Amino acid sequence: MQLRLSVLDQSVAMAGRGQDESIGQTLALSKLAERWGYSRFWVSEHHAHPSIVGTAPEILMAAIATQTHKIRIGSAGVMLPHYSALKVAEQFRVLDALAPGRIDLGVGRAPGSDGKTAQLLNPDRYASENFPQQVMELQAWVKGHPLPVGHPGHGVFAYPQSATSPDLWMLGSSDYGAQLAAHLGLPYAFAWFITDGQGADQALQIYRDTFKPSAGLDKPHATVCVWALAADSDEEAWHLFKSRARWRMDRNLGRIGPMLPPEQADRAYAPAEQMALEAMKANAFVGSAQTVAAKLRAMAEKLELDELAIITWTYDPKAQARSYELLAQEFNLIA
């Protein structure tokens, strides 16, 4: 069975460049991903984050919808506790009108920001406690199903209505999302790139063991979002990786900023940082296309997956595009 690949892009800020360029590069990458045969192109949501400037996935998705023709477009994801479920449903039904049958609505419970910013987005400190209820409301509104009598939303529908509708996905990096996805009969995406794989086996097992079929999905459907970087050689890939490594080590110390070019990122590390870096490199999906593909196939086989979403950071957008192109070639995605 051929492994399907998708793209998750976060519109990463780069030192010395305007942040508007990062948004433009995401749009450009979506067109390349479609050309190279990727199944989905997802964009993320973060707020007040100096490194990740993709704050409004629904707007970016609309731009991508007008520039592509067949690739599925999705959010990974909308941080639902910040918003009204009805308004999110309306936004994504408009997106589905722009790209019929191509919209994935991935939702998450995490704030995608710090506590102060989250409160500015939604003053209700306990909003995340209503997440399961919000997801059920959203599920009804995006599919055009009436909410039950007695619910405040009974008789209210999300427009525009059409023959197609967005597919709702649950995103998560812990057992919570897996349990909720299984209970509601939703597809599930585990954020391997956040946890470095910790908890993935357990979350996927819980999801599959407790899955309840729904009107939209009769059996479990899971994917994993993993950070990977391929280049024409192992040596070149590890050189490009220096930018990501420096960002990660700085973030661990509370220093968050735009990504540096490899030459500036290649500074001396403190002993504790060096140990953390070696551990990170030992588990990284970095190298030539053949090297990275072998690791991805092994992981997919172990987790019994037929689809993976790849997230790649490089300072040079051409190197990022080359990584995706090489993997598309290695996995025979290009028709």
- Tens of pLDDT, residue by residue over 103-129, are 999 999 988 888 999 999 999 999 999
The mean of the pLDDT values for the chain is 96
In a domain, 254, yes or no: no
Per the structure, the complete domain to which residue 159 belongs is given by 4-233+287-330
In a domain, 180, yes or no: yes
In a domain, 276, yes or no: no
- Tens of pLDDT, residue by residue over 255-295, are 999 999 999 998 888 888 899 889 999 999 999 999 999 99
CA 143 vs. chain centroid, Å, equals: 22
Residue 330's pLDDT is 96
In a domain, 251, yes or no: no
Task: Count structural domains, the chain.
Answer: 1
In a domain, 278, yes or no: no
Rounded Cα distance between 10 and 54, Å, is 6
> Which pTM does this prediction carry?
0.96
- Tens of pLDDT, residue by residue over 170-186, are 999 999 999 999 999 99
Query: Between 289-303 and 317-330, two packed helices, what is the crossing angle to 10 degrees?
Result: 60
In a domain, 22, yes or no: yes
In a domain, 257, yes or no: no
In a domain, 143, yes or no: yes
Determine contact, residues 189/170, Cβ cutoff 8 Å: yes
- Tens of pLDDT, residue by residue over 24-38, are 999 999 999 999 999
Rounded Cα distance between 226 and 76, Å, is 13
Tokens of 169: 């996905």
Tokens of 177: 């999302």
> Over pLDDT 90: what percentage of the chain?
91
CATH number for position 89:
3.20.20.30
